[in-house]
Amino acid sequence: MRSTEDALFDDLHPTQASTWEEGRPDLDLATKASIAATVLGVLVVALCLIRPSFASVLGAPGLAGVALLLIGGTIGWNRGVYVPSGAGIRNDGVFFGASYRPSPATLALTLPFCGLYTVLWWSNYGTGMVFLGIPTAAAGLWAYGHAQTVRYAGSVALLLLAAWMWFGDYTPSSLDSVNPLKGGIALVDPLAMALRGSSADKWFFYTVAYTTGVSLMAVRMAFRYRHNRYHLARTASVVFWQASFGFVVPMLLSKMGQKEHYFSYFWPLKPEYLLPFNVVDNYWDGGTVARAMFLWGVMMSLVGVPVLTYLYGKRWYCSWVCGCGALAETVGDPWRQLSDKSERAWRVERWSIHGVLALIVGITVFLWTNEALGRPWMDHGRASGLFWDWYGFFIVAGFAGIVGTGFYPVLGSRIWCRFGCPQAAVLGILQRFFSRFRITTNGGQCISCGNCSTYCEMGIDVRAYAQRGDNIVRASCVGCGVCAAVCPRGVLKLENGAMGDRFEGADDPLGEMLRSLGIRPRTGDPGDR
């Protein structure tokens, strides 16, 4: 609902955007050259995707060249943008830029992400991805009030598809059988040979692209938050975990003839690490090392997660270790302010994220019951097939991939983490009721300005708590620390302390849970959410 003032400011937005644009400082030559280098690097990759034969010509030296262009370009670009203005919070013009509201420019960014995830799962689900996945996402967004966005997305997608078929080596009839990432895969092939001793495939290409995206955008974070050691440390941490246990370590394991295992993911984010069709056939019967991998996962799910979350809150995982978190905190950071802060969104969130958790818990219990009874209902092949066809298609490919990442520029950077991730749901329940973590509000210093809520990627209305002097104890908080950083009055601080003083409901966790679910009524305090 727009107020009179909202309408007046909305009308002024074009003036705001143009005056801001015209008032920006000029970039020096080195910065312009760096931008050109970055764009050139991206163009080479795009060219490889369109003409796979070009990638084969480039070979290893070409790949190294692309890497140098991207790394050097990104460093120079961010240096040129952030160093001259000095260290500090730099959110000037965030809401004036063209990419911060649904527009053709936003969608030029959205579609490559959606397209990548569609293409990645293409061979698994074929045209189903197009005829089921994308309309599902579109319908969801439409219902959510982004009809305009969907219309734009649709038309740009059609144009891109036409261009791709025109310029590429493909025809519509071969859509199901070709691999549209052929050129990208050929580009990273030399790296695959060196790391794991076998040719690249689409998942290798995806992991390289993912890790590159995280690392390059971490450079942006490093310049942007160079005055803030918390942000520097957590950014370095996600890059480390993504590059090592999310990429290099699994590849080396594979080279050594072991399973390509990802030690930084556990059930239920990676459900297959605890589902019998995979555990029994591939891990338990796969030798000592594979068995140790499985036990590591079980240990983390049952002991590691609760203990670390008790000590530090869910942030130890979500904004320090997790790969999805790594992408959100680096590549997704420019869109964090787009998350929906309304109470309605919070209601949707609670049903949605706990729904996915209930689903995966149900599947797990069902499959292990089936296993214990000697598989009376389905064998491993059928269980695996059904699981990947349904959970894999709708939740992993559709929710976490297409919507979760593809819609960063529409719904903010933590869509999957907030509305879908079952691991986040588990961590959140632990954080809410059994953790030392809280965001402390500094006495009466809050001026209700709203910077904290605006820049919360999880859509938490931080201000609602801070302006009452209450600490913030919320299941969804991933502890990124940006609310505390952008606060102009030094009001917020992420802390781990005694359970008793975290918030007023700490001594009545069950009552608090019932109230937060709407089962037991709130007290009627007009500050209550």
Which positions touch other proteins (CB under 8 A)? 1-6, 8-9, 12, 15-16, 18-20, 22-25, 86-89, 91-96, 228-230, 233, 342-343, 440, 442-445, 447-451, 453-454, 463-464, 467, 481, 484-486, 488-490, 493-495, 524-527
Q: Which two tokens stand for residue 264?
A: 């930084």
Task: Measure the CA–CA gap between 13 and 187, rounded to whole angstroms.
Answer: 43
Which C-beta is closer to other proteins: that of 231 or that of 270?
Answer: 231
Which C-beta is closer to other proteins: that of 244 or that of 442?
Answer: 442
353 within 8 A of 417, measured Cβ to Cβ: no
Task: Measure the CA–CA gap between 120 and 133, rounded to whole angstroms.
Answer: 13
179 within 8 A of 123, measured Cβ to Cβ: yes
Mapping DSSP to helix (H, G, I), strand (E, B) and coil, where does residue 22 land? helix
Instruction: Give min distance, CB of 461 to other proteins, in A.
Output: 9
Instruction: Give min distance, CB of 98 to other proteins, in A.
Output: 12
Neighbours of 178 (CB within 10 A): 14
Instruction: Give min distance, CB of 410 to other proteins, in A.
Output: 16
Which C-beta is closer to other proteins: that of 40 or that of 89?
Answer: 89
Task: Measure the CA–CA gap between 180 and 194, rounded to whole angstroms.
Answer: 24
Instruction: Give min distance, CB of 290 to other proteins, in A.
Output: 37
Residue in 203, 182, 204 with CA at minimum distance from that of residue 195: 204
Which C-beta is closer to other proteins: that of 88 or that of 362?
Answer: 88
Task: Measure the CA–CA gap between 188 and 207, rounded to whole angstroms.
Answer: 10
Instruction: Give min distance, CB of 33 to other proteins, in A.
Output: 23
Instruction: Give min distance, CB of 85 to other proteins, in A.
Output: 9
Which C-beta is closer to other proteins: that of 285 or that of 343?
Answer: 343
Which C-beta is closer to other proteins: that of 61 or that of 524?
Answer: 524
Which C-beta is closer to other proteins: that of 211 or that of 339?
Answer: 339
Task: Tell which phi-psi region holds residue 97, choosing left (phi > 0), alpha (psi between -120 and 50) or beta.
Answer: beta
CA angle 227, 90, 319 (to 5 degrees): 65
Which C-beta is closer to other proteins: that of 287 or that of 527?
Answer: 527
Mapping DSSP to helix (H, G, I), strand (E, B) and coil, where does residue 295 land? helix
Instruction: Give min distance, CB of 224 to other proteins, in A.
Output: 13
Q: Which two tokens stand for residue 29?
A: 């030559």
Task: Measure the CA–CA gap between 110 and 403, rounded to whole angstroms.
Answer: 10
448 within 8 A of 463, measured Cβ to Cβ: yes
Which C-beta is closer to other proteins: that of 489 or that of 520?
Answer: 489
- Which neighbouring-strand residues pair with 157? none
DSSP secondary structure letters along 479-524: ---HHHHH-TT--EEEEE--GGGS-TTTT-HHHHHHHHTTSS----
Which C-beta is closer to other proteins: that of 118 or that of 413?
Answer: 413
Instruction: Give min distance, CB of 56 to other proteins, in A.
Output: 46
Instruction: Give min distance, CB of 103 to other proteins, in A.
Output: 15
Answer whether the bond into residue 268 is a cis peptide, omega within 30°. yes
Residue in 230, 231, 260 with CA at minimum distance from that of residue 246: 260
Instruction: Give min distance, CB of 330 to other proteins, in A.
Output: 19
Which C-beta is closer to other proteins: that of 182 or that of 220?
Answer: 220
Task: Measure the CA–CA gap between 326 and 320, rounded to whole angstroms.
Answer: 8
Task: Measure the CA–CA gap between 187 and 111, rounded to whole angstroms.
Answer: 22
Instruction: Give min distance, CB of 231 to other proteins, in A.
Output: 9
Strands 437-441 and 492-496, how do they pair? Answer: antiparallel
